[in-house]
Structure 1
Amino acid sequence: MTARPAKEAPPSPPRPLRPVRRTPPGPRMPRPGDPTGPRRLYHRAKRAWDRPLTAYYLVLGGSLLIMVLGLVMVYSASQIKALQSGLSPTYFFRKQLLAAALGGGLMVLATKLPVRAHRALAYPLIAGSVFLMCLVQVPGIGVAVNGNQNWISLGGPFQLQPSEFGKLALVLWGADLLARKQERRLLTQWKHLLVPLIPAAFLLLGLIMLGGDMGTAIILTAILFGLLWLAGAPTRLFVGVLAAAGVIGALLIKTSANRMSRLACIGATDPGPGDQCWQAVHGIYALASGGFFGSGLGASMEKWGELPEPHTDFIFAITGEELGLAGTLSVLALFAALGYAGIRVAGRTEDPFVRYAAGGVTTWITAQAVVNIGAVLGLLPIAGVPLPLFSYGGSALLPTMFAVGLLIAFARDEPAARAALAMRQPVFARMPAGVRRKTMRRRVKKLPSGER
């Protein structure tokens, strides 16, 4: 007998579906071992600080904020000076705004150019800077301002200071030179490290000192030492060049009564005999009268003829008087952020030219800010250099904004930064060429008459 197959059980009726409760997502509960309190905030800030685009946003945002605040302070600090000269109160502001617009175009151009184009600009730029610096010494072409003959008249109220472009030229040319020598492994020999970098830098310094502008010469020397430091110059060689520069600088100061008087005004609290420390002392007065939050925008008293050069070399003092300690600390924080971003770009790149150029630009802007602010605070002698991106002066603003554009381009070209920027583009922009884009549009057969 064969066994009958077992009778299948009838299927059980389906259970009624219950609605799923969806609770809104709340904050993640802390796990055991997670940092809490200030330590947690520190870790979150550190993670945000280490993101790939941090340097990019710091350079872009910091430089634009410095420039915008500088335009506001130039407008406030230059009104009385313009009226005293019989000009419109917005005369200096309009010229600075025009220079900022031109500088903005140069900055955008620098961000768009590839690295090979920046390297190609090095030699024409340094040759043009040397030529213009020679023209400064030609009678009838060069113009003397405040005792220094470092200007070329362009007609009307416009003048050009070629030494400002010499800073950018030294950065690009020196970075290209050291990068090519590093690719050939020649920087281990001291003669290749010094020649022709040192002779070319001394040529620029000599042309600048012919006009008597020691402040710009100090910044150019700082750029030179920054490039040597990044190239890994031996300590003995670095100290030797530094000692030679110190001896030459001491001789130049000793042989000039004007420079000796400026050196004697460090830390002065009284104008002294003949009011030789008038500018330094009134700069301190302006800072001291500002307090924590300042007297208010436009309410400075020192700009009414008491403080010379309120919109150029000593605009930081007017900022302290009108915006107070809060305003000056904000300016210092912006320059510190810009300097940190430049150091980060130079330290994270594998391209030797990018490292030298980013380090040179960072040294230039940081050293010039330190020299200017140190003179206003009475900690350094008055060198007559403007505050980068902040003080009045188109000749200083144009090359500086191009240099900032270099930093922006270098920060954006980091591998991690490029990947992060690509992820932030629209999906269609990230699709490779040849990939069909799917859309919600319904395909309809096209009729011969052209109708649908």
Structure 2
Amino acid sequence: MSYHLVLGVSAVLLALGLLMVLSSSSVLSLRLHDSSYAIFVRQVVWVVLGVPVAWVASRLPLRLVRLLAWPALLVSLALVLATYLPGVGVEVNGNRNWLSLGGGLQVQPSELAKLALVLWCADVYARKAKLLAYWRHLFVPVLPVSVLVIAAVIGQGDLGTALVLFAIALGMLWVVGAPARLFLGASLVAGVTAFALAATDEERKARLTGFVDPLADFGDGGWQASHGFFALATGGWWGSGIGASSQKWGALPEAHTDYIFAIIGEEFGLFGTLVVLGLFVTLAYAGIRIAARTSDIFARNVAAGVVVWLLGQAVINMGMVLGLLPVIGIPLPLISYGGSSLLPTLVALGLLLAIARTEPGAAEALRLSRALGRRGLFAALGSVAGPLRATAAVSSSTTTPRSTTENSG
């Protein structure tokens, strides 16, 4: 059943994420906080907060979720724009994409914008379902609003998140049946825009140069990419073992966030990276299955949008680590450290579970599962033993007269 598949894969990815955050952040955590567990404990707190929120999302009626689509978009856009305000926005690693909430707590509102854009596009296209044969309704208001959100994020200096938002908008167009030539044109425009933005910023230009040949620019733009390659090469087929990474000792920047996939490759080898890839593919399969089996247009759009978002972001992150894409600073969903990314992701998975509950036969299967859980193993065996005893009694009553006849003869 799709519900249990999404739940199981999400739980495995979340558990793996905690394990890898503990392993990859221990050295940095000791250096910054005098404790090898400080960063890990923060991630545990985010998980403890996020799992109940995901459970609530999985129980929300879809009509309520739909009502929240517009407010979510407006709030997320307002928070993104708030990062431009002096004293409110905080610059981290050259990107002014964080909000300071006081007490050392910072959040990244562009992560919320991903979920908001999925919900809003799903609602708009559900309302216009019978009008999407006309280009005007296909593009308006989705295209201008998406461009506004993406431009606001690019203004923060965060090209990575902007790329994910672009993938979400493009994916939603694909879901509602936009013509193929549109995707070619949009991809061309996005590529030219990204190249122009990279060429006008020295840091982005260094990243682009490092992408073309990391070892040629080893001491500058190619440092992170090169050490990511070293980590993967060190891991080999089966890895060096959990906790045995050498790159996390300061050589690989962002080892517990954007480059955690490289640490997975170093400690678990090619086998571990393929397992992670397989888990994301399985999650995508379950999400597509949910989208295909629901009769509600809004629910279908949300399920497909969540798949495009999470799988797209995972592919971008892995492609970055493998050298197929420039280093653009994208976390690996459910695995990388960070509450700003984790909470919206868990809410999205909760909504996917809510939609899965509407599948044909899902309600009955979930009721049966809960009933078996309450009654326990012995009660389940008892329910099977009852019919077996009845069958044995019937069998005994039919065989007794025959044996009496034989004895009397």
Deviation (angstroms), 1:194: 0.5
Aligned match of 1:196: 141
- How big is the shift at 1:175? 0.2
Deviations 1:161-204 (A, max 9, x none): 0000000000001100100111xx11111111101101111111
Query: How far does residue 277 in structure 1 lie from its aligned partner after superposition?
Result: 0.3
Instruction: Write out per-residue CA displacement over residues 251-305 of structure 1, whole angstroms, 9 at most, x where no aligned residue.
Output: 2122223223222333646252643201001001011111222212111111111
Q: Cα deviations across residues 51-103 of structure 1 (Å, max 9, x unaligned)?
A: xx1x2222111111001110011011111111222442111111111111111
Identity of aligned residues (%): 51
Amino acid across the alignment from 1:88 = S
SS in 2 for 1:150: strand
CA distance in 1, matches of 2:222, 2:188: 29
* Among candidates 317, 334, 339, match of residue 394 of structure 1: 339
Pick aligned residue for 2:310 from 365, 389, 400: 365
Whole-Å separation in 2 of the counterparts to 1:269 and 1:148:
22
The equivalent of 2:35 in structure 1 is 88
> Match for 2:126: what amino acid?
A
Partner of 1:403: 348
Query: Match for 1:175 among 122, 144, 166?
Result: 122
Q: Distance in 1 between matches of 2:27 and 2:245?
A: 10
Partner of 2:388: none
8 Å contact from structure 2 (residues 239, 267) kept in 1: yes
Given candidates 329, 332, 347, the residue that maps to 2:292 is: 347
**1:49 aligns to what?**
none
Q: How has the CA–CA distance of structure 1 residues 241 and 275 changed in structure 2, closer, same or farther, with 3 Å as cutoff?
A: closer
Identify the residue that residue 107 of structure 1 maps to in structure 2: 54
**What secondary structure sits across from 2:133 in the alignment?**
coil
Conserved in 1, the CA contact under 8 Å of 2:294 and 2:358? Answer: no
CA deviation digits over 1:188-222, x for unaligned, max 9? 11111101101111111111011100000000000
> Which deviates more, 259-268 or 304-313?
259-268
For residue 189 of structure 2, what is the aligned residue in structure 1? 244
Structure 2: runs of 5+ lacking an equivalent = 375-409
- Distance in 2 between residues matched to 1:167 and 1:127, nearest whole Å: 12
Deviations 1:235-266 (A, max 9, x none): 34443333333332232122223223222333
Write the distance in 2 (CA, Å) between the matches of 1:293 and 1:155. 44
Which has the larger helix fraction?
2
Q: Is the 8 A contact 1:271 1:281 kept in 2?
A: no
- Consecutive unaligned residues in structure 1, runs of 5 or more: 1-52, 430-452
- Distance in 1 separating the partners of 2:320 and 2:154: 20
**1:157–1:271 Cα change, 3 Å:** farther
Residue identity opposite 2:100 in structure 1: S
By how many angstroms is 1:155 displaced? Answer: 1.6
Question: Match for residue 327 of structure 2?
Answer: 382
The answer as to whether partners of 1:312 and 1:386 remain within 8 angstroms in 2 is: yes
- Please give the alpha-carbon distance, in whole angstroms, between the structure 2 residues aligned to 1:271 and 1:250: 20
Alpha-carbon contact 1:268-1:280 (below 8 Å) kept? no
**Match for residue 75 of structure 2?**
128
Instruction: Give the match for residue 4 of structure 2.
Output: 57
Q: Residue in 2 aligned with 1:155?
A: 102
What is the rounded CA distance, in whole Å, between the counterparts of 1:111 and 1:81 in structure 2?
36
Partner of 1:272: 217
Is residue 180 of structure 2 the alignment partner of residue 235 of structure 1? yes
Structure 2 equivalent of residue 186 of structure 1: 131
Task: Tell me the distance in 1 between the aligned counterparts of 2:317 and 2:192.
Answer: 22
For residue 84 of structure 1, what is the amino acid of its counterpart? Answer: R
The 1:324–1:239 alpha-carbon spacing in structure 2 relative to 1, beyond 3 Å, is: closer
Partner amino acid, structure 2, of 1:368 = Q
2:379 counterpart residue number? none
Q: Work out whether residues 209 and 221 of structure 2, in 8 Å CA contact, stay in contact via their aligned partners in 1.
A: no
With over 3 angstroms needed to count, the CA separation of the structure-2 counterparts of 1:255 and 1:300, relative to structure 1, is same
> What SS class does the counterpart of residue 226 from structure 1 fall into?
helix
Using a 3 Å threshold, how does the CA distance of structure 1 residues 61 and 426 change in structure 2: closer, same or farther? closer
Q: 1:68, 1:395 → 2: CA distance? A: 18
Kept in 1, the 8 Å contact 2:293–2:360? The answer is no
User: Are 2:21 and 1:74 aligned?
Assistant: yes
TM-score, structure 2 length as denominator? 0.88
What SS is found at the alignment partner of 2:80? helix
Partner of 2:64: 117
Tell me what 1:12 maps to: none
Whole-angstrom distance in 1 between the partners of 2:90 and 2:75:
18
Structure 1: 4+ residue segments shifted above 4 A: none
Note the alpha carbon deviations across 1:13-71, whole angstroms, 9 max, x for none.
Answer: xxxxxxxxxxxxxxxxxxxxxxxxxxxxxxxxxxxxxxxx1x22221111110011100
- Contact 1:296–1:322 (CA<8 Å) still a contact in 2? yes
Structure 1 residues 135, 67: closer, same or farther in 2, change over 3 A? Answer: same
CA contact (8 A) 1:219 1:367 kept: yes
Check if 1:144 corresponds to 2:144: no
Q: Which amino acid aligns with 2:40?
A: F
AA matched with 1:363: V
Partner Cα distance (1:235, 1:286) in 2? 39
The alpha carbon displacement at 1:422 in A equals 3.6
CA distance in 2, matches of 1:389, 1:363: 15
Match for residue 273 of structure 2? 328
SS in 1 for 2:250: coil
